[in-house]
Amino acid sequence: MSWQTLATQLFPGGHDILERDNFLSGTAQVDGRTVAIIGTTEHVPIGIEIALAQAQAILNTVQEHPGRPILILVDTQGQRLRHRDEMLGINSYMAHLGKCVDLARRKGHTVIGLVYDQALSGGFITSGLIASACYALPAATIRVMGLPAMARITKVPEERLTELARDNPVFAPGPENYLRMGGLHGIWQDDLANALARALAECGTDDVRMALGQERGGRLLAQPVAQAVRTGGHVRPT
Amino acid sequence: MSSYLELTARQRIPAIFDPGSFEEFLPPSERIASPHLAQLDAPVSFDDGVVVGRGLLGGHVVFGAAQEGGFMGGAVGEVHGAKLVGMLRRAIDEKAHAVLLLLESGGVRLHEANAGLIAVSEVMRAMLDARAAGIPVVAVVGGSNGCFGGMGISARCANVVIMSEEGRLAMSGPEVIETASGVEEFDSRDRALVWRTTGGKHRYLMGDCQMLVADDTAAFRAAALEAIGGIGNAGLTLEDLLAEQAMLTRRLADTEGLVEPMDVWRKLGVPDPASVPMLDADAFLQLAAPYRAGGQR
């Protein structure tokens, strides 16, 4: 879905989002409230410039509009794979973006992520995945990397991975699997404006993804292991 | 001098923490392995490649973790990530003096892709929770597998990053970039270029790591002690992030058009950049001090 179509459906109350070099920023009206919007489009790889631009927009919101909710619109093919980005420390730029989102949350900004088209690995981890809650549209693509590349690196034959990806949420791309794993809070259908308003109203500040993954049967060990480590207990057999 | 680089995670713990003080949480005897590896006929490990626990460092109660590069490159899967998160949360519960992360990781473990990706983001949030609770987090990068991907991002969520020259800190490994963008973009077999681009000296000059030490366990231990003692407010403030924004913006402007790390060092004012890779840690630190781009503690 194009970001313009998305914005029309999400913000019937109007918006002033602008796109510059695949970077989206602006504000929108949701339920009579102004929400800050940042995001990316055209599956753009997240390089250092776009990570920095997103961080700047978050910091501006924290400085100038305390408490204003923030919506991160995610569409990226992942981190940019360039020597120069690595030389300049793209991991630091991404960490900085993540820290800015985290600061906003701690200062009382509700931060929601929405994968409206594509989300891969490095570009996702410091946007939607560091938000307080992340959602996706049903047709979104979410994955760590493509199966051919995964086969090359893990030395597991692609046919075997394809077979596993059919019904195993650990490998299979797509929002349904991320939902089962607890990585997504929900999938938005039909009335997007209503879904967003509800998400903003319901959003908490704790990281509950392990508990969600356990409840939904996609990630059975994370929660018991973290809990056993935290309390000095044992992992009960599942 | 004893090298840190070649040690296993389990050898590093007693070399860095006060001897005999470390208590491991969910040790291998609990036999908790990844539930996802067996179906790929991949080997499992009963610590899932990470040791977590609580020990003493210079007499202070410090929580810690060590990733095992020898098991799947230290990559993060469901159990591995959950152990790190549980340890970080317990550090907050028990008001730890600090958290010390001995990182060595390729990032997300592709064998359990989605679980690993979510886990790494949970680790990041847990690290920032610890900092917000006033607990300093120190990351050490000196293992032979380096620190990449999501863990390369996580390292930069710590208060202080300590590296050796031989440590590498980055996002995508050179092989990944070479595969995606061609050998002319990044020649992964050019080892000198790989170290100039991702190694400790470059990261120190750029301000992405705050302390550089020789590849020596005693030096790492001393640096960890010094780092923890030197952190005032562990949490992040708006001012901290505005300063970081300014540093990262300046970096982009100052290096416009440059693609060779040595040219970046020259631009910083480093005399005779070609000599940098040859210097030992002490000589390098003396040379580098006036020219660092930022990132002071």
**pLDDT tens for each residue of chain B, 297 residues long:** 799 999 999 999 999 999 999 999 999 999 999 999 988 888 999 999 999 999 999 999 999 999 999 999 999 999 999 999 999 999 999 999 999 999 999 999 998 999 999 999 999 999 999 999 999 999 999 999 999 999 999 999 999 999 999 999 999 999 889 988 899 999 999 999 999 999 999 999 999 999 999 999 999 999 999 999 999 999 999 999 999 999 999 999 999 999 999 999 999 999 999 999 999 999 999 999 899 876 554
Q: Which of B39, B153, B201, B236 to mutate to test the interface with A (most CBs of A within 10 A)?
A: B153
Q: Does domain A3-137+188-205 have CATH number 3.90.1010.10?
A: no
Instruction: Name the residue among B83, B153, B156 with its Cβ closest to that of A225.
Output: B83
Angle between helices A147-154 and A158-167 (to 10 degrees): 120
User: E strand or H helix at A186, and its extent?
Assistant: strand A186-187
Cα B177 to Cα A84, A111, A232, B13, B106: the distances in Å are 11, 32, 42, 33, 14
d(CA B276, CA B284): 7
DSSP B81-102: HHHHHHHHHHHHHTT-SEEEEE
Neighbour tally for B94: CB within 10 Å: 13
The partner residues of A138 in beta bridges, in order of sequence, read none
| Residue boundaries of the structural domains of chain A | 3-137+188-205
Residue type, B128: L
Beta strands across the sheet bearing B137-141? B23-25, B50-57, B60-67, B98-103, B137-141, B160-164, B211-213
CB contact under 8 A, B26 and A210: no
d(CA B101, CA B16): 11
Q: Which of B121, B245, B292 to mutate to test the interface with A (most CBs of A within 10 A)?
A: B121
Residue type, B183: V
Write down all domains in chain B, each with its CATH number in brackets. 9-169+209-234 (3.90.226.10)
CB contact under 8 A, A149 and B78: no
What pTM does this model have? 0.97
| Closest of A134, A132, A99 to residue A204, by C-alpha | A132
ipTM above 0.85, yes or no: yes
